[in-house]
Structure 1
C-alpha cells in the first residue's frame, strides 16, 4: 500500500492541502515544466485529493517540490478543481506557512524573508513569527492589469450586466455587487453562485482573452463581486468582496488574485496610488489585504505591482493511504508519482 503525507491548512477559510512527502521527483527543469507534466501526464494526484473519498472540489492542493531556481527555498505546484493555476495568493500564504511549520525553512522569531518558486516564477515572501507561531504572511501578487473596462453583456435571466476584466494570475470578471442587488453576506451564497455562473458562461461564449506575455491561458474562469469601498484611514480602504471559481464554487476567502484584480481596477479608476492598501472582507468576514507598490508599462497595459497579506492556520497533519483495489480510487496516474505505489 502506498502512502504520502499532508499538512492541511486554510487561509481565510479556503483549505489548501500541502503535500509534504511521499511523491517521486518529477521530470522538468523548472517548477512550471513539472506542473505541465502533472497536468498532461499524471493528473491522478489532483483528482485523488479534490474528489471523494479523500477530498472535495472546494479544496486546493499544493505539492511541495525541490526548487529549480537557486534563489528559492522550495517550489510548489498548485492544483484546483479547474486545473493547474500558475499562481494563487491563498495557496501561497498556506504554502509559506507549511514550509516554516515543517522546518523546510527555519522558523525564526520576528520578521523573516525567503523566496518560493511557483509555476509563475519566483515569489518573495515575508513572514511574521510570534511565540513560534506564524501570525502573518505577505507575498507578491502577480503583476495585474485591466484588459477590459466597463463592458456590457446580455446575460440570460439577468439582463444587461456591466463588467470589467482583469488579469491577476487568471482572468477575472469584476462586477459591482450592489448593481446586482447583493449585500455580500453569507445568506446570499447560493444566489451569488448562480449569478456568477450565468455571467461567466455568457462571457465565455462571446469573448476570449490573451495575456500580453503568456498568450492564450484558457477561458475566463473567475468572477469577483465588489462591494462598496469604505475609507478606513488615508490610503487605507476596505470592501466586502467575494470570488467565484468556475465551476459553481464560491471561495471562502476573498482570494489573493481576486484582491489583486480589484487593486488594478481601483488604480485604473484613479482611486488608488502606490502605498495604498485595500482590505477585502469575505462572506465569512475573513480578510486579506492587498497593497499597491507601483506600476510599469507593458505595451498598451499599465501593470500594477502588489502584495497580498493574510494568515494561514494549520488544521492537521495526516498520512493518506492509497489502496489501488479500492473502487473509488483511480490509481492509473498515481503510479507515476507516488513512491511504492505498486506494492
Structure 2
C-alpha cells in the first residue's frame, strides 16, 4: 500500500497553454523562500516535473504549478513553475492560471468586482488583480517581471536558414526576438511545425555562440525562449495588436503568446522609443487567443532601462482530478520524487487545500 500515492490537480489553461495546478499530495518542501523550495525541487526532486509532463501522465507542451505555502507575509500562496525547459522563475500564463486556481479553490474566497492579492513566485511577490462577475473569474491582471533589452538587432549565421537578425530581451527568462515576416512566416496554425524547427535552429546557433547574464541574477542558464513577432497593427490611440508565437527550447510551440513573451515585446518597443505610459500591446497566438500587455513605466538598473508592465488574460478551469501514482508501475519513475509524496492514506493534507 505504501507504493500508492495520490496527487490532487486542477487543470487550467490561459490562451490555450495548459497549466496543471498541484493542490495536494506533496509534502512541505525545505527552503526558507519559494525560490529556495524551487531550487530543492530542481536539484533533489525533479521527478515531479518529469512525472506530470511526460508519459503516461502528461505531455511536454503543458506546464505544472505546485502550490506551496507562502513564505512572504504579504502573499496568500506560493507557486513553483515547472516546464519542459526546467524551472522558470516567472511565467505570465502560469501566473494567470495559478491566480484563477487560488480563487476557484477557495484559498482566496471570491468576491464580486475587483479583487487584489499577492502571490509569491520564485521571482518574488506578484500583484494580482482579478475581475469577478456573477461568481466567474472573467480576467486576471498580473505584474509582469521587469523587462529589458540585453542585445539589439545582432545577426547570426544559422545553418539551413542563413543570416538571422535578432534582439535579446529578459522578461523572466531570456528571449530571442525575431521578425516572423523576415523569416517567411505569416504566423498561422499550419506553420506550427515549421516554426518549431526554425526556432530550434536559431536557438541552438545562439547558444553555441554566446550566453547571457542578468544584471542581478547573473547566469540563469542557456537561452530557453524565442518569440516570433508578426506585423504590428494600430487598433487605436496607444493600442497595438500583433500576431506572435513563443517557442520553448527544445521543440515546444506555446499555445498562447505567453505573458513573458508579451513583456519582452514591450521592452523592445520601449527600447525603440515607441511607447508612452498606459500604452497597450495585444499579442495574438496561432489559435487566435490573446494577452494584453500594458506599459507602466521604466526605471534604471545600471546600464539597462527596465520596463515595468502588467499582463492581462483569462484562465479557464478544465478539470479537477486525482492522479494515482503506483511506484510498482514500470512506466512510473518514483526514485526522484518518492521522498516528497504523501502516503495515499495519510490523513494529513497540504495546508493550502480547503
| TM-score after normalising by structure 1 | 0.99
1:288 equivalent in structure 2: 291
1:217 equivalent in structure 2: 220
Structure 1 counterpart SS, 2:201: helix
Structure 1, residues 108-137: CA drift from partner, whole Å, max 9, x if none?
111110000000000000000111110100
1:164 equivalent in structure 2: 167
For residues 224 and 88 of structure 2, the distance between their equivalents in structure 1, rounded to whole angstroms, comes to 11
RMSD between aligned alpha carbons?
1.0
2:232 equivalent in structure 1: 229
Structure 2 counterpart SS, 1:328: coil
1:100 equivalent in structure 2: 103
1:185 equivalenced with 2:177 (yes/no) = no
Structure 2 counterpart SS, 1:178: coil
Shift of 1:4: 1.5
1:114 equivalenced with 2:114 (yes/no) = no
**Number of residue pairs aligned between Structure 1 and Structure 2:** 343
1:339 equivalent in structure 2: 342
1:198 equivalenced with 2:201 (yes/no) = yes
Contact preservation (8 Å) 1:11, 1:93: yes
1:258 equivalent in structure 2: 261
Counting only pairs closer than 5 Å after superposition, residues 49-198 of structure 1 correspond to structure 2 as 49-198=52-201
Match among 239, 244, 259 for residue 242 of structure 2: 239
Distance change (3 Å), C-alpha of 1:130 and 1:165: same
For residues 157 and 15 of structure 1, the distance between their equivalents in structure 2, rounded to whole angstroms, comes to 32
For residues 342 and 199 of structure 1, the distance between their equivalents in structure 2, rounded to whole angstroms, comes to 49
1:303 equivalenced with 2:301 (yes/no) = no
Could you tell me which runs of 5 or more consecutive residues in structure 2 were left unpaired when the two chains were aligned: 347-354
1:17 equivalenced with 2:1 (yes/no) = no
Contact preservation (8 Å) 1:335, 1:341: no
For residues 325 and 193 of structure 2, the distance between their equivalents in structure 1, rounded to whole angstroms, comes to 34
Shift of 1:341: 6.3
Structure 1, residues 228-275: CA drift from partner, whole Å, max 9, x if none?
111111001100000000001100000000000000001111111211
For residues 59 and 7 of structure 2, the distance between their equivalents in structure 1, rounded to whole angstroms, comes to 18
Structure 1, residues 2-37: CA drift from partner, whole Å, max 9, x if none?
102000000000000000011111101100000000
Structure 1, residues 289-326: CA drift from partner, whole Å, max 9, x if none?
00000000000000000000000000000001011110
Contact preservation (8 Å) 1:50, 1:60: yes
Structure 2 counterpart SS, 1:333: coil
Shift of 1:221: 1.0
Could you tell me which runs of 5 or more consecutive residues in structure 1 were left unpaired when the two chains were aligned: none
1:31 equivalenced with 2:43 (yes/no) = no
Contact preservation (8 Å) 1:334, 1:341: no
For residues 196 and 35 of structure 2, the distance between their equivalents in structure 1, rounded to whole angstroms, comes to 31
